[in-house]
Amino acid sequence: MPIDRREAADPARSMALLWRTKEPKSRKGGPDLSVDRIVRTAIGIADAEGVGGLTMRQVSQALGVGTMSMYTYVPGKAELLDLMTDTVYGEVELPPDVPGGWRARLELVARANRALYRRHPWLLQVETGRPVLGPNLLAKYDYELRAIADIGLTDVEMDAALSLVLDVAKSAERAAADMRELERETGMTDGQWWQAYGPWLQKFAESDRYPVASRVGTAASEAHGRAYDPDYAFEFSLQRVLDGLAVVVDQRAGPGSRPL
């Protein structure tokens, strides 16, 4: 279900919550609430049921408190989504030492982000081109940029290179999530679908009329056992992006330089 973004987060309130510069304390005798508890509960609901239908009332019911009590801590759904997003960003592992140079470091970044989307598929719906400027996002962004610092790229190119790698992870996991959702809706796996429709395609897709499509489609379906394999697409795309960056890095380094 698409996310309704007509309600925009208030910048001052959102930043204060993200950075925890001001948080109400639970009143004596009142419900044991905190921003962290509310956010973790909302994340659990979104992981289990998706984020499209997530409401403040739903979260308050899961907490066993009145909705108005929760508004004291989190003023609205827009701010809650910001908090949820930055919180799960904090799950990404940031190991200080990664052997294998910049390429291995970027591979780790891509795989860690894909794993994050796998754990929290709703993040694919929530993320936009306007980043949530919380502490976990900034720590993650800083770490990921350091993977390609001092390899010859300009600051703007570093940002673009990182975006390419992150887009590969997001695209692959979005395709995988779509396939999982389709399986739930139809009760049929992609492999089962291909077994049912493959013979019909072979009947109509005449090799002499569509020679390249017939040859390539047959090879791909035999290799993957289905029409599309997001894992293969992820690995192939990631290596090609890294190959392209390697060309730029080598050009900047010049002849006789050591790879970074």
**The whole model's pTM is what?**
0.88
Query: What pLDDT, on the 0 to 100 scale, is given for residue 136?
Result: 98
For the cut 90, the answer to whether the pLDDT of residue 124 exceeds it is yes
Residue 78 lies in a domain: yes
Q: Which domain holds residue 200?
A: 192-225
For the cut 90, the answer to whether the pLDDT of residue 187 exceeds it is yes
Same domain, 161 and 125: yes
For the cut 80, the answer to whether the pLDDT of residue 198 exceeds it is no
Residue-wise pLDDT tens digits, 32-86: 899 999 999 999 999 999 998 899 999 999 999 999 999 999 999 999 999 999 9
Same domain, 161 and 256: yes
Same domain, 209 and 166: no
Same domain, 46 and 65: yes
Same domain, 54 and 163: no
For the cut 50, the answer to whether the pLDDT of residue 260 exceeds it is no
Query: What pLDDT, on the 0 to 100 scale, is given for residue 104?
Result: 96
Q: Token pair of 234, please?
A: 């992820």
Residue 3 lies in a domain: no
Residue 5 lies in a domain: no
C-alpha distance from residue 17 to each of 23, 133, 166 (Å):
7, 11, 26
Using alpha carbons, select from 163, 159, 162, 167 the residue that is nearest to residue 117: 167
Same domain, 172 and 249: yes
